[in-house]
Amino acid sequence: MIIGFKNHGLLIRFVIIFFCLNTYSFGEVTNSLARFNLIESFEADFTQKVFDGESTLEEIVKGKFIFKRPANFLWISDSPYNQQIKSDGEYLSIYDVDFEQNIIRSLSDEIKHSPLYMLFNDVSEISNEYLIEENKLNSHTVLNFTNRNENNNVESFSIKLESDLIKSLSIMDRVSGQFEINFEDIEINKYVDSSIFDFHNIDNAQVFE
């Protein structure tokens, strides 16, 4: 069984949020996200923090995140976790480097179970599911999304934007606690070789589907 840093579900939710923001124009919701359609690729170093329900820091993970339209992403976690989460747009792979184990599942399954699935179907549904607030603070903008459904695990999430780029993202989960990601050394629209998202030819990996 793959083990490693906790809360893969929260991480996948983040990726889905990022994917959605870069797939649709949110001009009807907020002008702050209207330029996301211009982003063809996004690459950055990240620092991920996981807090428990008492806001106690449980985990810090660092690594690299790469996104490429239309639905490719690669999430590499540095030592001691040594995990890669990637998608070719159809399937999702969670690969543990140390244990040489690779879990492959349908990306659509993850999306369908995400509270943000409606972003892929009808952007107008966002305001029905979330109360959205936009706060402009000096050089950055913070977008706060509060779930209207109290029974949903995702209580809220917020996005910090600087110069139309995601600088940080926070998810508050009623079960898992709080999950934060900060980005540094961001590069957009650089060439990204699609072969890096291929997970079918990982040497010596035990595959679980």
Which amino acid is present at 158?
A: S
* Residue 155: inside a domain: yes
* Residue 129: inside a domain: yes
Q: How confident is the model at residue 29 (pLDDT cuts 50, 70, 90)?
A: low
CATH code, domain with 174: 2.50.20.10
Distance between CA atoms of residues 146 and 158, nearest Å: 9
* Residue 3: inside a domain: no
- Look at residue 176 in the predicted model and tell me its pLDDT: 72
Q: Indicate if the pLDDT at residue 43 is higher than 70.
A: yes
* Residue 1: inside a domain: no
- Look at residue 50 in the predicted model and tell me its pLDDT: 86
- Look at residue 187 in the predicted model and tell me its pLDDT: 92
Mean pLDDT, to the nearest integer, of 138-154?
Answer: 82
* Residue 134: inside a domain: yes
Question: Does residue 91 contact residue 104 with C-beta atoms inside 8 Å?
Answer: yes
Mean pLDDT, to the nearest integer, of 90-116?
Answer: 72
* Number of structural domains the chain divides into: 1
Domain that holds residue 48: 8-208
Return the higher-pLDDT residue of 69 and 9: 69
Q: How confident is the model at residue 121 (pLDDT cuts 50, 70, 90)?
A: very low
Q: Indicate if the pLDDT at residue 100 is higher than 90.
A: no
* Residue 2: inside a domain: no
Q: How confident is the model at residue 1 (pLDDT cuts 50, 70, 90)?
A: very low
